Amino acid sequence: MKAHKQQLLLILPLLLFLFATPDANAQLLKKLGKAAERAAERTVERRVEKETSEKTDAVLDSILEPGSKGEQERRQNPPQIPVPMDDGNNTGGSGGVNTTVNTPNSGGPKSLKIYTNYDFVPGDRLLLYDDFSVDNIGDFPAKWNTNGSGEVVTLEDSPDKWLKLSDRAMYVPDIPGTLPEDYTLEFDMITTGLNRKVSSTARLRIILDDNNNLRMGSNYAEMSIPLAQYIDAGVYVNNNFNGENTVRNFVKKDVRNDILELAHVSIAVNGKRFRMWMNERKLLDLPRFIEPGLPQYIKFDLKNMPSETKLQLVFITNIKLAEGGEDLRSKLLKDGKFSTTGILFDSGSEIIKPESYGTLKKIADALQQESGMNIMIVGHTDADGSDASNLELSKLRAASVMNALTDEFGIAANRLQTDGKGESIPVSDNGTTEGKAQNRRVEFIKI
């Protein structure tokens, strides 16, 4: 400790000088003696005396890494908004806990045009959907299993619910049957409090496994999203089938900005091929990563995050698993209609979410290939809300899809008509989360 104090005394004049004269940085290194330089380096490395070291880091970073100070400050102190969690008044509440969560992109909502290279198309037969809407705040979700802990929370004043993950815990959602050969998986994630001190080994793992137990099986494929901020730790991929490991790598796709904001993760498995996107970017495209028939279940696993008392947390929601189906062009030609849950809208709104781009493009491609085909676009909603408001919302959503097809993809408006049926023609039970998700759909009918 005495050595640390001596180091701090050596650089104290430097700190005072910098704060008083910020333009003197360029000449400062020339004036530093060898002892002061070594002391400063050791101070940076050891991060002793919390408040003093943080100030030292900020100053020395501006000297040792000119031009990067703004980026480092952003990573050390990401923008935040308050997140009130349950105060104990709700059924199943866990008590008054307050934390913070990083803000979404301050540039506003992303447009479809940002997603022009996004070729993800979700499966058309829904197997699992969970937004935790039926779970009580503070409870562990009913349709999941874990060997650790976790609870359903709300973020700020949003009505959406999230599963707060705990370190060194595995999470297994209940799915009907086992994974098919072709399927898609989607979920939203958001973090709180991530900074440069988070370990490079901190990761959210997504595992495709041969069992639904709370341990790794003999046949699996795993990929993990890095949570570190001070380096690009890489998206880790690893598999093992029939005792053979064919892929193991850290793929350098810098996601540090993405995980500080609301991130939408999409995964597509088609036979042996595995692809993964985060927001509009494709992170992975591995042609021989999966051994079909062996991975049968999905697991989430949070590893090497700091203690929850530091409020460095990871949340997930809107978990959607869907089986791949027939090509929609063939479906339209054969059956005369096609229905999809792959066109997503903001809650209670007709604004199309940009991750719908891949589905819209497939529809536009089919219309361009069949130039003589005209289509009626019909919107449908779940049963939440009044009949009248849902009917109006379904019509507005159909019109939004038409506008996207004409404005973004050049489909002639005279080939398209729109209608809305509200909640009047459900295809599943509005009393379940999955049923509601299936009923929120857009239908395309050949006319």
Q: What is the pTM of this model?
A: 0.75
Tell me whether strands 150-154 and 161-165 are parallel, antiparallel or unpaired: antiparallel
Where in the chain is CATH 3.30.1330.60?
328-446
Q: How far is Cα 419 from Cα 255, in angstroms, rounded to an integer?
A: 40
Q: For domain 82-323, give the CATH number.
A: 2.60.120.560
Q: For domain 328-446, give the CATH number.
A: 3.30.1330.60
Q: How far is Cα 135 from Cα 92, in angstroms, rounded to an integer?
A: 9
Q: What SS3 state is found at 405? A: helix
pLDDT at 109: 56
Q: What φ, ψ does residue 389 adopt, rounded to 5°?
A: -65, -35
Token digits of residue 349: 């709104």
Walk along the chain (447 residues) in steps of 10 and give the mean pLDDT of each run. Answer: 50 48 43 45 45 42 39 46 39 40 48 82 93 96 95 86 95 96 96 91 97 96 96 97 97 95 95 95 96 97 83 94 80 87 92 92 91 95 95 97 95 96 95 93 94
Q: 102 has which bridge partners? A: 80
pLDDT at 63: 36
Where in the chain is CATH 2.60.120.560?
82-323
pLDDT at 6: 52
Q: Which of 218, 219, 207, 215 is nearest to 291 (CA)?
A: 219
End-to-end alpha-carbon separation of the chain, Å?
81
